[in-house]
Structure 1
Amino acid sequence: MKALVLSGGAGTRLRPITHTSAKQLVPVANKPVLFYGLESIAAAGITDVGIIVGDTAEEIRAAVGDGSRFGLTVTYIPQHAPLGLAHAVLIAREFLGEDDFVMYLGDNFVVGGITDLVDEFRAARPDAQILLTKVPDPRSFGVAELDADGRVARLEEKPAHPKSDLALVGVYLFTPAVHEAVRAITPSARGELEITHALQWLIDRRLKVSSTVISGYWKDTGNVEDMLEVNRSVLELLTPGHEGSVDDATEIIGRVRIGRGATVRGSRIVGPAIIGPRTVVENSYIGPSTSIAENCRVTDSEIEYSIVLSGSSLHGVGRIEASLIGRDVEITPAPPTPAAHRLVLGDHSKVQISA
């Protein structure tokens, strides 16, 4: 069995962060989201992985390499434009051959991994198997409609009027039967080859498409809110440990991990929280559900329920929360006068300013 991991796409919902970084490499608890997926694939006993890459191909290659650090053998498959999940299967035909495979969206996060799902698929071997979960607003997802016996009857991609609240999770399992399906379908109204259409093609021809409704934790980390929530959930399972320097004037409460070479002075850190290697925290408060990456500096500041990427600094800022702060960012207080805001913002930024 092989794996096909999708790591293309522009990551428009995470701009401006993704103007300079692949969305699959934005860190959760100081580890790229993509790495969690690759670790889950390896844990399921799959070692041969194809990674679909687009404009951020070089960054993905630099981060993942040949896959050996994960116990994997990685093949990179270029996709010239994000033309849909079924298109990814189409262009990966040579790599996939006649093997069964799991398709994993590189920006998705499934707590507990996929080992049980892969074992279930190997035992029953339907033509396709999908994961479903209930969501409050299914209009942003592929949506499944089940019949009275719980079998998949119909699938729609981002419907305006969903017939159920069951959304497709970004993990799919296929036999080679899917290859005929992706060749048979045509682009949707948005110009993409939809995997939901390929699955419906299989259903219409009475091939077996099974589903598993999961009640565990799953998130598509494509926007800031979900990224922060995934970060919170991962930190809840954090193993505490201190590899840096913490002075006697610092108070550490709960699950806190302090990376090698980090320095904490005169501060209060309330877990779950993680401080990356070589980061300096002085006279500051780090609150729950906060990840601060390597080589950062936080002085005379307060921050909680946030993610701070590498090389950034916060100095003298009263309170920051529910924020995603990119690499090499500097945050400082505004001068007291004149009463105006001075901003340097990237494309598609969102800013909230008090009146």
Structure 2
Amino acid sequence: MHDVEAVVLVGGRGTRLRPLTLSAPKPMLPTAGVPFLAHLLSRIRAAGVRHVVLGTSYLAETFSEHFGDGAALDLRLTYVVEEEPLGTGGGIRNVAEHLSAEHVLVFNGDVLAGTDLTAVVDTHRRTEADVTLHLVRVPDPRAFGCVPTDADGRVTAFLEKTPDPPTDQINAGCYVFRRSVIDSIPAGRAVSVERETFPGLLAAGRRVSGHVDSAYWRDMGTPADLVHGSADLVRGLAPSDALPGPTGDAMILDGAQVDPSAKVFGGSTVGRGARVGAGASVEGAMLFDGAVVGAGAVVEHSVVGAGAVVEDGAVVVDTVLGDRAVVGSGCELRGGARVWPDAQVRGIRFSPDA
């Protein structure tokens, strides 16, 4: 697909993930051993796209410092910074002058997905659509707005959240735009594609197609989603060519030390220079670089930030520990605890039923 370009909107920090770190935007958080954005870029590259425009705002320099011009990924990367929040539509319009292809893939940079991107573009071309949306079927669409389609694959409406949705199809955050549609989005102001651009196209009788599948999909908006998405990448349930090692029950990165008596499983990642002590149990967790889990400690479905320490015998479940945080020996944190970077927690048992 050398005649297709891609745009990735990666502007937001994601306040629900803020306790993890004070120095990295969400798409750059380590996920299965590499920045989350690397997984999406690998899928774009695998689909045959070579030019990707990153629409950024918060800590924009972090992206260019890590990925550079994209040559190491066999991509050409262009960076465009939003001076003020422009929404999805405004963010797409803001990068228009850097695009030259007739058709443009657009991605929400906070989504982990496994759909066949070539198939999405094929649907767009076959139906001669102005815009094509990737729609994914989910078991319970009540938490999302839904997008019904007719027998011909045309999108018929964009519906808000409802307790009784008429379809299980939701917007998966991946689109194909005709360049002329991008140019028609108002410039210089905030625009929502979901509330303004797409409904406007339907009202004007333009062709909006849906590419519907049941591929892997997860919105990475919460710490729980980040943890489970990372575990799915490690186990090979979510596709990526960016993994730093083979898929399996755990990913142990270079320089990590895991005591032979420790158990590390469930799609856990143990970062570079991290240490897991004797008899410890780490299940479905993310240990960032330099993290330490002491002897006999239990860490489940949690994030342990860079340089953070879970001391001997501590229990950390469904918890986020910021960089360099310390959980003292014998402490127990469960069910949504958040510990800020550099904080120390001692003599505490916390859980929703405490």
Match runs of 1:138-149 below 5 Å = 138=141, 141-147=144-150, 149=152
**Structure 1 position 208 matched with structure 2 position 229:** no
Corresponding letter in the other structure for 1:69:
A
Deviations 1:224-260 (A, max 9, x none): 2221221221122299979xxxxxxxxxxx7333222
Q: Residue 264 of structure 1 aligns with which residue?
A: 258
After superposition, the Cα gap between the structure-2 partners of 1:194 and 1:208, relative to the gap in structure 1 and judged at 3 Å, is closer
- Superposition deviation, residue 262 in structure 1: 2.1
Q: Distance in 2 between matches of 1:42 and 1:51?
A: 14
**Structure 1 position 91 matched with structure 2 position 94:** yes
Q: Residue 282 of structure 1 aligns with which residue?
A: 277
* Contact 1:48/1:73 (<8 A) preserved: yes
Q: Residue 245 of structure 1 aligns with which residue?
A: none
Corresponding letter in the other structure for 1:134:
R
- Superposition deviation, residue 118 in structure 1: 3.1
Range with greater deviation from structure 2 (95-104 or 135-144): 135-144
Q: Distance in 2 between matches of 1:25 and 1:72?
A: 18
Corresponding letter in the other structure for 2:233:
V
Corresponding letter in the other structure for 1:23:
K
Unaligned runs of 5+ in 2: 238-242, 332-337, 342-349
After superposition, the Cα gap between the structure-2 partners of 1:142 and 1:68, relative to the gap in structure 1 and judged at 3 Å, is farther
Q: Distance in 2 between matches of 1:181 and 1:163?
A: 31
Q: When the two structures are aligned, how many residues end up with a matched partner?
A: 329
* Contact 1:289/1:304 (<8 A) preserved: yes
Instruction: Please provide the CA RMSD for this pair.
Output: 3.1
After superposition, the Cα gap between the structure-2 partners of 1:334 and 1:256, relative to the gap in structure 1 and judged at 3 Å, is closer
Corresponding letter in the other structure for 1:226:
D
Q: Distance in 2 between matches of 1:42 and 1:285?
A: 39
After superposition, the Cα gap between the structure-2 partners of 1:52 and 1:241, relative to the gap in structure 1 and judged at 3 Å, is closer
* Contact 2:308/2:325 (<8 A) preserved: yes
SS at match of 1:219: strand
After superposition, the Cα gap between the structure-2 partners of 1:83 and 1:18, relative to the gap in structure 1 and judged at 3 Å, is farther
Q: Distance in 2 between matches of 1:210 and 1:6?
A: 21
Corresponding letter in the other structure for 1:255:
D
SS at match of 2:176: strand
Q: Residue 299 of structure 1 aligns with which residue?
A: 294
Deviations 1:47-85 (A, max 9, x none): 111101112212222222211221111111111222211
Q: Residue 251 of structure 1 aligns with which residue?
A: none
Aligned residue among 12, 33, 39 for 1:9: 12
* Contact 1:156/1:196 (<8 A) preserved: no
Identity among equivalent positions (%) equals: 29
- Superposition deviation, residue 96 in structure 1: 1.8
After superposition, the Cα gap between the structure-2 partners of 1:282 and 1:345, relative to the gap in structure 1 and judged at 3 Å, is closer
* Contact 1:84/1:195 (<8 A) preserved: no
Q: Distance in 2 between matches of 1:223 and 1:344?
A: 15
- Asked which structure has the greater RCO (Cα within 8 Å, sep 6+), the reply is 2
Q: Residue 73 of structure 1 aligns with which residue?
A: 76
- Superposition deviation, residue 124 in structure 1: 4.7
SS at match of 2:133: strand
- Superposition deviation, residue 173 in structure 1: 0.6
Deviations 1:259-298 (A, max 9, x none): 2222222532242333222222221423332232322222
Match runs of 1:24-39 below 5 Å = 24-39=27-42
After superposition, the Cα gap between the structure-2 partners of 1:201 and 1:52, relative to the gap in structure 1 and judged at 3 Å, is same
Q: Residue 310 of structure 2 aligns with which residue?
A: 314
Q: Distance in 2 between matches of 1:81 and 1:317?
A: 47
* Contact 1:269/1:287 (<8 A) preserved: yes
* Contact 1:181/1:201 (<8 A) preserved: no
* Contact 1:40/1:115 (<8 A) preserved: no
Return the TM-score normalized by structure 1: 0.81
After superposition, the Cα gap between the structure-2 partners of 1:70 and 1:285, relative to the gap in structure 1 and judged at 3 Å, is same
* Contact 2:254/2:272 (<8 A) preserved: yes
After superposition, the Cα gap between the structure-2 partners of 1:263 and 1:322, relative to the gap in structure 1 and judged at 3 Å, is same
After superposition, the Cα gap between the structure-2 partners of 1:334 and 1:46, relative to the gap in structure 1 and judged at 3 Å, is same
